[in-house]
A and B are shown apart, each in its own frame.
Chain A
């Protein structure tokens, strides 16, 4: 299938910590991409009330317990979240977010299986093709590389949005190497094994 006809959804999460077993999702953001356009009007963002709030993690995500009190629980938000997760899931260190989603859905009895694309892995692949390219896979580094540098406040919604913009640029670069279908992109990202991946695990 041509890239233009593939649906993607670019996501970003905030969690109470890094441990998939113990920690929980507290914010979910999704920007759908159709015909390679970011559909801002269908973008979705919600806070998620966790079962246990960890005060010390607030310094990383800046979401206060008061904000979360009013938010729906994952169970309550699950329907909306599932609805927006239409297509191949794209993100920055997406494996991490994917595992959190999978676990959260499993907990409420939903089996969640999706194809995922990590923009970091695409970037690594591109760096192999272009020897002059300086590889910096942080969000800030990627924004700089693609001229997206802008006034920017770190939160899940903004991160999902800029991740989607980076993905847009990456697809353009990929098409210059003849990579013009979702299938081919998935082949590329699957070519990277976990060990290769984990040294780039997001650092809070």
Chain B
């Protein structure tokens, strides 16, 4: 079989096609390479092809405004089958290989195969719908910039120097390349420091330009990896009060990003970044409350404009953490930040914060017991717009505001007596992440946990991950007309499964589900395919949930996790079913690995 056919057959909805139908498409197939920045078609051009991307990145533009980004395995130019000319400009943003299918052949298959065409009609409607929205509110798309990987805005190769280069030569390099910093690297291209204009000033005032730069460089250097979003990078700069971050790819220097680079991307100011800055500047809880509500709305809009869970959730988490830290700073008076650490658990702990998340926090102290402080923080957060936890998992609850030694005893007890209730505590607190205060307290607790993990606790947690079976029946998803809880049936089994596998493999400080699965994959605990499939399903389920909640925020109705058949598009329904199947096979893996079964009575007593 020729490779394009194999490739196409793996893409939904082409997988619905019969052999003959696929051959019709292949019959008119051409493969073309578009150079970066080359226009593929222009608005108003006569339709000739439907495009599938084999590799690269394409942007769709409406009067120079980015409407959509399309990458590997995705299709564009579809609307052309409906006898319209192309409605947008398409431009290659990287060197891009496209498969070109003749519109005529595409049309033939389109009318032949109902399942295939229904996928596209929904798809077309969806794109059309978003076009309309863009026309009325073009500004959404500026915001999508924040969730771009930082890698995408790096356009210069890094200028590097060995530690022995003289200040004089380094300065010449900087001038020649018109840059404000030079990265000092070892032989393996790993960064050992950075020499900036600021450091140069030090030399001018009291130094010698013939000295090696290593004498004046700032070290260690703040680094981020290339997959960090622009937004995260920006907040890291603000936090550290610096203007240069070194980008790392495979532990080697990949580039340098400056505050200016980011500001260029973000200006003209768009709402989120401005609001984020405002959080940092805020003085009172009242101010925060207003800002926070606006952020919720902006985020909801971004979600509906098509951003994906994995990108967004980290941004939401950054915003949320900033708000919490700000509240703590507002409230904090006598309490010393060396004496305690503020902990987030649950989805916040996992950096999987979505819009409807409650407060889930706790406090670990080593000297004085900050009772009033914790209560004030919780109350203020509620006022700001992060609701109190109905289960009372909050630092204001005496039970969750304890001395480090008590926390050690808690975990010890939970691991050694994993009753249903204790297993529940483990699943909540094993997602903990320090947010504010003294990190060393947290680290000491982790070391104590490391020594106390037991097999029976692992088994109990495995039970937790498998005991709810996705409602898959022979006729599709059971009970969907009444609404299905995405959290219970789809998201929890994956989150819980990733957690138990992580704990079992002594991964304690990584709490994010995506990161846990990837590390487990690297360690060989789960295979590539399982890792990929589970992450896809997880992303899809979370996207769906996030979309639901965003609609609720914008309509000012109650946010919830139920999804009903009416809210699902045909395509989503199809994918939802696939996603639940993958959840089910992930559970099977856990069942055989930990030798656990679904027991009816267990299920009844458990929840």
Contact = CB atoms under 8 A, between A and B. Distances in A.
Nearest to B98: A37
Contacts of A152: 3
B27 A37 contact: no
Interface stretch (B31-39, B134-142, B530-538, B576-584): B31-39
Interface size class of A (residues with CB under 8 A): 20 to 34
A98 interface: no
A147 B31 contact: no
A177 interface: no
Interface string A168-181: 11001000000000
Contacts of B100: 37
Interface stretch (A100-108, A114-122, A158-166): A158-166
B95 A40 contact: no
B32 A37 contact: yes
A36 B32 contact: yes
B56 interface: yes
Nearest to B33: A168
Given A151-B6, A158-B2, A162-B3, A40 B33 contact: no
Contact of A37 (B3, B26, B30): B30
A40 B4 contact: yes
A38 interface: yes
A41 B4 CA distance: 11
Contacts of A37: 30-32, 100
B55 A148 contact: yes
Interface in B6-39: 6-7, 10, 26-33, 35
Interface string A14-32: 0000000000000000000
A39 B33 contact: no
A100 B478 CA distance: 62
Nearest to B26: A40
Contact of A147 (B4, B6, B27, B56): B56
B7 A40 contact: no
A148 to B, nearest CB: 7
B230 interface: no
Nearest to A162: B3
Most buried by B among A37, A45, A148: A37
Contacts of A165: 31, 33, 97
Nearest to A147: B55
B312 to A, nearest CB: 26
B30 A39 contact: yes
A130 interface: no
Contacts of B54: 148, 150
A8 interface: no
A138 B30 CA distance: 25
Interface in B217-250: none
A43 interface: yes
Contacts of B27: 41
Most buried by A among B3, B30, B33, B54: B3
A65 B453 CA distance: 59
A41 B27 CA distance: 5
Given A158-B2, A161-B2, A172-B95, A41 B33 contact: no
A158 B31 CA distance: 14
A169 B95 contact: yes
Contacts of B4: 40, 161
Contacts of B31: 37-38, 40, 164-165, 168
A127 to B, nearest CB: 18
Contacts of B28: 41
Contact of B2 (A45, A148, A168): A45
Contacts of B55: 147-148
B30 A40 contact: yes
Contacts of B29: 40-41
B81 to A, nearest CB: 19
Contacts of B95: 147, 169, 172
Contacts of A38: 30-32
Nearest to A161: B3
Given A157-B2, A161-B3, 9 more contacts: A36-B33, A37-B31, A38-B30, A147-B56, A150-B7, A158-B2, A158-B3, A162-B3, A168-B33
Interface of A: 36-41, 43, 45, 147-148, 150-152, 157-158, 161-162, 164-165, 168-169, 172
Interface of B: 1-4, 6-7, 10, 26-33, 35, 54-56, 95, 97, 100
26 contacts: A37-B30, A37-B32, A38-B31, A38-B32, A40-B2, A40-B4, A40-B29, A40-B31, A41-B26, A41-B27, A41-B29, A41-B30, A147-B56, A150-B54, A151-B6, A151-B7, A151-B10, A161-B2, A161-B4, A165-B97, A168-B32, A168-B33, A169-B33, A169-B95, A172-B33, A172-B35
